[in-house]
Structure 1
Amino acid sequence: MNKTELIMCVTEETKLNKKDVEKAVNTIFSSIQKALIQNDKVQIIGFGSFELKTHTARKGRNPRTGEPIDISESKIPSFKASKSLKSIINR
């Protein structure tokens, strides 16, 4: 399911205006992004949590030339599903 399909699904389920649903979905995604940028953890009870994980700087190799390269530290967003979401999926 992509973002457009999600908006259509919510529109059908709630009978709300498509523009209002699209605005709500965009606001939710934007709020999660802003929280992650501030290094906050976002917990949605019964669904899961979003947080940043840090990959430390390390040495790597260019796969084409085999030349050693430095890979800088980076932050990676991660999602961990809640126990209830896992149990619903694994029924």
Structure 2
Amino acid sequence: MNKTDLIANIAAETELSKVAVASVLDKFIETVQATVGGGEEVVLVGFGTFKASARAARTGKNPRTGETLKIEATTVPSFKPGAKFKEIVAKAK
């Protein structure tokens, strides 16, 4: 499912217009990005947690040349699914 499909699905389920759903979804995404980018977590109980995670510096290898290179430490966004989300996915198998 892509963003357009998601918007259409939510619009059909809620009887809201696609424009309204798209606006809310865009604002949700912007808010999560700004909050996590600012170092805070976004916790949606049952769904999951969006947060920033530190990734340590490490040594990597160029797959073409085999040359060893240093990969610098960085901060990356991460998502940890909640218990209910995990349960739903496990039952789908």
What does residue 59 of structure 1 align with? 59
The sequence identity of aligned pairs, in percent, is 36
Tell me how far apart the structure 1 counterparts of residues 58 and 21 of structure 2 sit (CA, whole Å).
43
Tell me how far apart the structure 1 counterparts of residues 89 and 68 of structure 2 sit (CA, whole Å).
43
Tell me how far apart the structure 1 counterparts of residues 68 and 88 of structure 2 sit (CA, whole Å).
46
What does residue 76 of structure 1 align with? 76
Provide TM-score, normalisation by structure 1. Answer: 0.90
Please tell me the root mean square deviation across aligned C-alpha atoms, in Å.
1.2
Structure 2 counterpart of 1:70, one-letter code? K
Structure 1 residue 16 displacement after superposition: 0.7
Tell me how far apart the structure 1 counterparts of residues 87 and 67 of structure 2 sit (CA, whole Å).
46
Tell me how far apart the structure 1 counterparts of residues 15 and 70 of structure 2 sit (CA, whole Å).
52
Structure 2 counterpart of 1:19, one-letter code? V
Structure 1 residue 48 displacement after superposition: 0.7
Provide TM-score, normalisation by structure 2. Answer: 0.88
Deviating above 3 A after TM superposition, structure 1's stretches of 4 or more consecutive aligned residues are none
Number of equivalenced pairs = 91
Structure 1 residues 32-53: Cα deviation after superposition (integer angstroms, max 9, x where no partner): 0001110111100121111111
Tell me how far apart the structure 1 counterparts of residues 67 and 47 of structure 2 sit (CA, whole Å).
43
Question: Is structure 2 residue 31 aligned with structure 1 residue 31?
Answer: yes
Question: Is structure 2 residue 2 aligned with structure 1 residue 2?
Answer: yes
Mark the runs of 5 or more structure 2 residues left unpaired by the alignment.
Answer: none
Tell me how far apart the structure 1 counterparts of residues 42 and 8 of structure 2 sit (CA, whole Å).
25
